[in-house]
Amino acid sequence: MTLVNVFETIWDTFQTKDSVLQPVWDYVRLNHSETLRSPLFPVILTVASYFVLCIPYLVCDIMGKKWPAVNRYKIQPDKMPTTAMLLHCSGVTLYNHVLLVFPAAVAQWMWRPSTPLPERAPTLLELAGGVTGNLLLFDFQYFIWHFLHHKIRWLYVTFHAIHHNYSAPFALATQCLGGWELVTVGFWTTLNPILLRCHLLTTWMFMVVHVYVSVEDHCGYDFPWCMSRLIPFGVYGGPSKHDVHHQKPNTNFAPHFSHWDKLFGTHAEFSFAKTQ
């Protein structure tokens, strides 16, 4: 099946009431099955997504005040990351992935059979519902984990303190984590789609979306297209909320949404970046 066939069959897909994603799923399933079935594929997908999604924010950080039209959206405009800070976070990220993530993926590759690919694609509703459900479940898990690691000093000093080296977060600081934290985050990201019985396409979409919102939360910029501006009623926190957490570490523990912090009394008010 070629890409031309994919587009030609979209109308037929509507007629037969199959998922609109079915032609796309058939194309990748029939032409790239060996790649998709490898246990290494999700790891490569998330790592590649992370560095690609960091690049635009990295460019903004490097240009700094030379781009006033962009810099006006900087939440803490007087605190730009230095070259040393960027290199340190890149080094920690690469170190963790080389010594922890990839060895774990290779070990998994050796004992775990290839993942079977279902013939049926998820519907758009199943895809959106699965991604949202995974984000909500992760938000709860990480809220508890994050809260405990701030309240129990040994956990904070041993595992989480490295992430708070910087009071003004930036994109490359997203995965500037201790090994234990990275493993925990990776475990939930892998386990949750299984618990929710998600389609593989939904699982991969969740992984990419989760990387995106995590990078956005740490980017240090409050752009008009941020999720927190697009989702109404203050349901979603976004970069402004997480920026306050790095300034006031005993507040805003939930990584994405706002409801858990409001329920447990750890919510700290935040405002969007002033662009005038």
Angle, vertex CA 256, rays to CA 250 and CA 258, nearest 5: 65
For 146-165, letters b (16+ CB in 10 Å) and e give: bbebbeeeebbeebbebbee
Taking the C-alpha atoms of residue 276 and residue 187, their distance in angstroms, rounded to an integer, is 42
Distance of CA 275 to the CA centre of its chain: 26
- pLDDT of 42 reads 87
- pLDDT of 275 reads 43
Q: How many other CB atoms are found less than 10 A from the CB of residue 15?
A: 9
Instruction: List the pLDDT tens digit at each of the 276 positions of the chain.
Output: 565 565 555 545 444 556 899 999 999 999 999 889 887 888 889 999 999 999 999 999 999 888 999 999 999 988 999 999 999 999 999 999 888 888 877 776 777 666 789 999 999 999 999 999 999 999 999 999 999 999 999 999 999 999 999 989 999 999 999 888 988 898 899 899 999 999 999 999 999 999 999 999 999 999 999 999 999 888 999 999 999 999 999 999 999 999 999 999 999 987 644 444
Contact 129, 197 (CB under 8 A): no
